[in-house]
Amino acid sequence: MLGAIVGDIVGSVYEFDNHRSKDFPLFTERSHFTDDTILTIATADTLMHCEWDFAAKYREYGKKYSSSYGNRFQDWIDEVITGPYDSFGNGSAMRVSPVAWFVNHDHRVMFLAEKSAGVTHNHPEGIKGAQATAMAIFWARNGVPRNRIRRDLESVFGYDTSVSVSELQKTYEYNETCQRTVPEAFRCFYEATDFEDAIRNAISIGGDSDTVAAIAGSMAEAKWGVPDEIREVALGRLDDHLLEIYQRFADQVGD
């Protein structure tokens, strides 16, 4: 899940100030973790508890950490909304990466991805976004070539991943849905030459930069790992609690 954390922190300063180029400082003084990191680590924390109560853990973290949550998710945290609210937002995909490291069978990845999404994002597209992201990570960490992952994302999940990064840099617009975030994030990973290049691709297309980069980064980590210097800077931006949960999970699964 470190790739998602890195993507979130790098993208935090570009979400509402898009930078449509791959030439930018990876970290700045203003770079910080957002809800993407908070909920990704909450997913990892949930998985380390056998009851797998994602709803309780997401609310716990949401109440502990204020962030730029969507309005309906904030209402859900505050229990104004008490159950899943049929969302197909990209939040289900940006928080799912620990699932792909926690289990070692594809049907378990699909099951837990749906379980993590369904407490809020129970719309079929919300569940599909989480499952597709988790499976792309799972396949990548098991050495499946990217052209086969692309084929399966298109055939199994119905995503069109054909639009190039160069074209997305010209045409992509801000979008918070799984339908218009997951395939774009995958394309950024698909064209990348290494982990850092995937993050730079993701920032360069604009849109919901922290989330696109979190999803692309989570896929890229599974293929290349995260360079030590990037790891050190990103983990240095976490508070003690988030860092402790991250480290426990990483030690358990080898992330």
pLDDT at 239 over 90: yes
CA distance 117 to 223: 24
pLDDT at 255 over 80: no
User: What are the structure tokens assigned to 163, written together?
Assistant: 């639009």
Average pLDDT over residues 149-158: 97
pTM: 0.98
- Read off the pLDDT of residues 102-142 as tens digits, 9 standing for 90 and up: 999 999 999 999 999 999 999 999 999 999 999 999 999 99
**Domain 2-253, CATH:** 1.10.4080.10
CA 252, chain centre distance (Å): 20
What does the pLDDT read at residue 155?
97
CB-count burial class (<10 Å; 0-12, 13-18, 19+) for 201 = buried
DSSP classification of residue 80: S
CA distance 71 to 32: 21
Under the banding of pLDDT at 50, 70 and 90, the label for residue 201 is very high
